[in-house]
Amino acid sequence: MVLIREGWQPQLPALPELLAGVNTLRVATATVFDGVADTEHPAGILVVLSMPAHPIAGDVDLLVLVDQVRDPGNLGTLIRSSAAFGATCLLLTPATVDPYHPKTVRAAMGAHFAISIGALDAAWRERLSAGDVQVVVSRGNGGNAPDEIDWCRPSVLVIGNEATGVSDEVEGLATTTVTIPMHGQVESLNAGIAGAVILSEVARQRRQIGRTGPSPPDAPGISRTIPPTF
């Protein structure tokens, strides 16, 4: 269903063409629309839709596992950075904020449509425990620098809560750890920025050997479908 704020239609001349396939279209008064919107100055169009189950295309090459990140802005940044730097998909633990929280969606800036997002279930835990991929857990201190790790191997980057890190269960999957070297009096980076810094190094190494990013979420060659269980 699409809900449009009364008087907003003229601002987008292409609106009739864009909404040609919409089954249910409603125009709401400004009072009603602003009442259901979650921002002070909404854009003027609201869409209600079901969340798709995106497949993973091919084998896992670069996966980002997010554990206990509770700030929606940080998760949105991680989704955006993961898509930008060529990750295959994101897996989220139950303690992580909803990937479809409005603030997460806004922070991701459309990246939800560019990368698969799913839940860390029993099947995935078994797969990541098999030793076929390196599982790199980010830490505030004591880990390898990002450029000391061979990211050209099939890899899982684990980003945890800035204050508490990752859970014991996720820590048990680790094959190595990574820490971002920092100068001055800065104690830590937030989860979104830390993930982006590390993923930038991953992409740099892979560019050097001519590696390309993953196929889009709807590409053929499906090996496993991730259910949107949040």
Report how far residue 118's alpha carbon sits from residue 96's, in angstroms, rounded to the nearest whole number. Answer: 11
pLDDT attached to residue 212: 60
The token pair at 99 is 């990937």
Residues 6+ apart with CB under 8 A from 68: 93, 95, 96, 160, 161, 164, 165, 166, 167
pLDDT attached to residue 56: 58
pLDDT attached to residue 77: 98
Torsion sign (Cα): 191, 194, 198, 199: positive
Query: Does the pLDDT at position 216 exceed 70?
Result: no
In the chain, where are the structural domains located? 2-47, 55-225
pLDDT attached to residue 29: 92
Residues 6+ apart with CB under 8 A from 190: 71, 74, 162
pLDDT attached to residue 214: 59
pLDDT tens for 13-39 read 777 787 787 888 888 999 999 888 888
Query: Does the pLDDT at position 130 exceed 70?
Result: yes
Which H or E run includes 159? strand 155-159
pLDDT attached to residue 57: 53
As beta bridge partners, residue 144 has 178
Report how far residue 35's alpha carbon sits from residue 31's, in angstroms, rounded to the nearest whole number. Answer: 6
Q: Is 146 helix (H, G, I), strand (E, B) or coil?
A: helix
pLDDT tens for 91-113 read 999 999 999 999 999 999 999 98
Under CATH, which architecture does the 55-225 domain have?
3-Layer(aba) Sandwich (3.40)
Torsion sign (Cα): 3, 25, 229, 111: negative
Query: Does the pLDDT at position 127 exceed 70?
Result: yes
pLDDT attached to residue 227: 37
Average pLDDT, the chain: 86
pLDDT tens for 49-83 read 777 666 555 577 999 999 999 999 999 999 999 99
Query: Does the pLDDT at position 197 exceed 60?
Result: yes
- What is the band of 221 on the pLDDT scale with cuts at 50, 70, 90? very low
**Residue 203: HSE in the Cβ half-sphere, 13 Å Cα cutoff:** 16
